[in-house]
Amino acid sequence: SIIKKNSREFGSVQSDIWFPKVEDELDLVDKTCIDFVGKLGNSYPGYDDEKYMSWCREVRSYPGSVKIDPPDVDYPADATETWNMLYTRLRDLHHKHACKEHREILKELEDLNIYSPLKIPQFSQVNKFISGKSKFKLVPVGGMINPRSFLYGLAYRVFFCTRYIRHKSVPFYTPEPDVVHEFMGHVPMFANEDFAQLNETIGKKSLGASDEVIEKLSKIYFYAVEFGVLGDSFLGSGYLGSSSEFQYVVDNKNLIRDWNLNEILESELVLSDYQPIYYKARDLLDLKRLIIEGTEQISGNL
Ligand code: NLE
Ligand code: FE2
Specify the pLDDT at position 302.
Answer: 42
Alpha carbon distance 70, 47 (integer Å): 27
Q: Does residue 161 line the site of ligand 1, with CB under 6 A?
A: no
Alpha carbon distance 174, 242 (integer Å): 8
Q: Does residue 29 line the site of ligand 1, with CB under 6 A?
A: no
User: What residues contact residue 242 under an 8 Å CB cut-off, 6+ apart?
Assistant: 172, 173, 174, 180, 181
**Which ligand is nearest the CA of 226, by number?**
2
Task: Give the amino acid at 211.
Answer: D
Ligand 1, atom nearest to 181 Cα: 5
Specify the pLDDT at position 87.
Answer: 98
Measured N-to-C along each axis, helices 284-299 and 193-206 cross at an angle, to the nearest 10 degrees, of 10
Ligand 1, atom nearest to 184 Cα: 5
Alpha carbon distance 216, 266 (integer Å): 9
Ligand 1, atom nearest to 173 Cα: 4
Gap from CA of 39 to ligand 1 centroid (Å): 17
Q: What is the pTM of this model?
A: 0.94
**Which ligand is nearest the CA of 150, by number?**
2
Residue by residue, pLDDT tens for the chain (302 residues) are: 344 444 444 556 788 999 999 999 999 999 999 999 999 999 999 999 999 999 999 999 999 999 999 999 999 999 999 999 999 999 999 999 999 999 999 999 999 999 999 999 999 999 999 999 999 999 999 999 999 999 999 999 999 999 999 999 999 999 999 999 999 999 999 999 999 999 999 999 999 999 999 999 999 999 999 999 999 999 999 999 999 999 999 999 999 999 999 999 999 999 999 999 999 999 999 999 999 999 999 987 44
What value of ipTM does the predicted structure carry?
0.96
Residue with CA closest to ligand 1 atom 8: 177
Gap from CA of 171 to ligand 2 centroid (Å): 16
Gap from CA of 73 to ligand 2 centroid (Å): 20
Q: Does residue 174 line the site of ligand 1, with CB under 6 A?
A: yes
Q: What is the DSSP string of 35-59?
A: -HHHHHGGGSTTTT-HHHHHHHHHH
Specify the pLDDT at position 19.
Answer: 97
Burial class (CB in 10 A: 0-12, 13-18, 19+), 118: exposed
Q: Look at residue 113 and give its three-state secondary structure.
A: coil
Residue with CA closest to ligand 1 atom 4: 173
